[in-house]
Amino acid sequence: MTYSALADEKLRQIQETGRARVLAIETSCDETAAAVVEGGRTVLSNVIYSQIPLHRRYGGVVPELASRNHVGQVGAVVRQALAEADTKKDELDAIAVTSGPGLVGALLVGVSFAKAFALGGGLPLLGCNHILGHIAANYLSHPDLEPPFTCLIVSGGHTHLIEVEDYARFRLLGRTRDDAAGEALDKVARALCLPYPGGPELEKLALSGDPHAITFHSAFNEGKGFDMSFSGIKTALINRLYTMEQRGETVNRADLAAGFQYTVNHTLTRKAIRAAITAGSGSLALAGGVSANQNLRGMLSAACAKEGIAFYCPQPVYCTDNAAMIGAAAYYQLMAGERSELSLNAYPNLSIFDEDQT
């Protein structure tokens, strides 16, 4: 039997039985991750090897170092994921891998590994969108959550408000016009001399600051639309910080951190709640690395409670990059009969909207 025939047969079995034990691989940025997920909702293993200590000394991710490090780790991480799931290669039903968006060299490592693994095992291969993975992280933490719902995705590379109409149908409600929220938090953290990645460090510093002592305004964010902008307020903070330093004024870094975090989270909350109400959604889900932020979770949860909207967010381990979320997203695509060819490539700008493939 040819590889194609074997993969088609496996895919047919998945669709017929609804059962799929999927090995998922994620290498889009600075985490080498592998997981085994059953039926899209049950995580049998979730291994994450973080490269953060490697990139910290440079203040951000160095793409070439990330790719090389993925090459060194991916085999061991996959072996560990299979061992922890007590799963042999021939007990797998499919291989899923993040094929975009992300750093092209980093993505290529996971994609090449997954292609070889699929070919060797005669398993269907599925290239998954990283953003869909973040959305699907919510399915892992909330077995009751099903589309339709509104989703706010906030990561280092993306800030999107999306209506999840079905497992495979998405409608864009709003997005950032410039920096992603996580990117702005990271850049402000860097200006405040905090280590990479800045989001969680800024959150810690903000705990001892007054969020209303120093405020940042954006007429755009206060407008009616669902698009957002974080670049202007980021520059405002950096200018303010440098001016204060030049004048020899005492800089209260905690107040700056708290004020900036409050502005970002308030903007995200306001836009997300209004989008959910406009879309007529009874549920709002949060996703992406910034969803680990307790202040944002608290604000959204309180605002949802006030409006009678059910609020969902992933457990912290599924908020930042991981492979279990890719295994969850993959299940619904496999059930819809999707599989990728062995010609699958890495797509650094992959979008979840067909019209947006730039």
CB of 9 to ligand KG4, least distance (A): 34
- Check residue 197 for interaction with ligand KG4 (CB under 6 A): yes
Q: 304-323: which residues touch ligand KG4 (CB under 6 A)?
A: 320-321
Residues between 99 and 158 that touch Zn ion (CB under 5 A): 155
Give the contact letters, 314-343, x = binds to Zn ion (CB under 5 A), - = no: -------x----------------------
Nearer to Zn ion, 157 or 211 (CB): 157
**Which residue in 46, 73, 141, 155 binds ligand KG4 (CB under 6 A)?**
155
Q: Which is nearer to ligand KG4, 29 or 114 (CB)?
A: 29
- Helix locations, the chain, DSSP H: 3-17, 52-56, 63-84, 104-121, 130-141, 181-191, 198-206, 231-246, 253-279, 294-307, 316-319, 324-335
Would you count residue 288 as binding ligand KG4 (CB under 6 A)? yes
Q: What angle do CA 336, 342, 346 make, to 5 degrees?
A: 90
What residue type is 126 in one-letter code? L
Q: What single-letter amino acid sits at 55?
A: H
Cβ-closest position to ligand KG4: 289
Residue 93 vs 255, nearer CB to ligand KG4:
255
The total of other beta-carbon atoms located within 10 Å of residue 254's CB is: 17
Least separation in angstroms between residue 353's CB and Zn ion is 17
Looking at the DSSP bridge assignments, the partners of residue 38 are 21, 42
Start-to-end CA distance of the chain, whole Å, equals 38
Cβ-contact 331, 38 below 8 angstroms: no
**Residues lying near ligand KG4 in the complex (CB under 6 A):** 29, 155-157, 182, 185-186, 197-200, 203, 288-290, 292-293, 320-321
